Amino acid sequence: MEGLNWRLMLASAGIPALLVFSLIWLIPESPRWLLGTGRHREAYHNLLTLRFSRIQAARDIILADATISAEKNSELTGSLKELVTIRRNRNAFIGSELCMFMQQFCGINVVAYYSTEILLKANFEVKLALICSLAFGGCGFIFAWTAFWTIDTFGRRNLLLSTFPVCYVQSRYCAACASMC
């Protein structure tokens, strides 16, 4: 039974992947991809499921078709050179990399990955440490759904602008606490 613990923990990480793999066949094709392959009617019907009205779906199909045409006429489309030569792409790339770094820099992922070990070092029993680690992961799962709802409601940009100061204050607070130890 001793060697089974780590195997069960690793196997449990595969359950969501298997679930996604089994359900991915039910997801319709991207309307933009369908437009690129010349399947306009199918693209419109797929977009109807995502929009509130037929007019919005038609507008988005027209805009997507226009951007696909513009991309086909552009000489830089699809190259990594676009990240450096086009200013808005470069700014978006730098911003996204900075955002990812700062989110990882906050350190919650380390706590999540090693929560069982941390609790064991804090003299928890093995069973209780595993239960607490599972509860920690369950809370993360529940609040991830809350985050998806919040992103869809308020938008990514607004949430990013409101959480960056919190991340900064948290990192400064952690640095101050570490210097006192």
For the chain, what are the domain ranges?
106-181
Helices (H) and strands (E) in the chain, counts: 10, 0
State residue 181's pLDDT score: 55
Angle at 64 between CA 60 and CA 68, to 5 degrees: 175
Q: Furthest-apart CA pair in the chain: how many Å? A: 65
Q: Name the residue among 174, 152, 151 with its Cα closest to residue 163.
A: 151
Report which of residues 107 and 27 the model is more confident about: 27
Cα–Cα distance between 91 and 19 in angstroms, integer?
36
- Three-state DSSP class for 107? coil
pTM over cut 0.85: no
User: Which pLDDT band, with edges at 50, 70 and 90, does 180 fall under?
Assistant: low
Q: Range with the lowest mean pLDDT among 16-30, 69-83, 106-120?
A: 69-83
Q: Which amino acid is at 176?
A: A
Q: Give one DSSP letter per residue of 37-69, joined into a string.
A: TT-HHHHHHHHHTTSSSHHHHHHHHHHHHHHHH
44: pLDDT strictly greater than 90: yes
Q: What is the 3-state secondary structure (H, E, C) of 137-169?
A: HHHHHHHHHHHHHHHHHHCHHHHHHHHHHHHHH
Q: Which residues contact 83 (CB under 8 A, 6 or more apart)?
A: 89, 90, 93
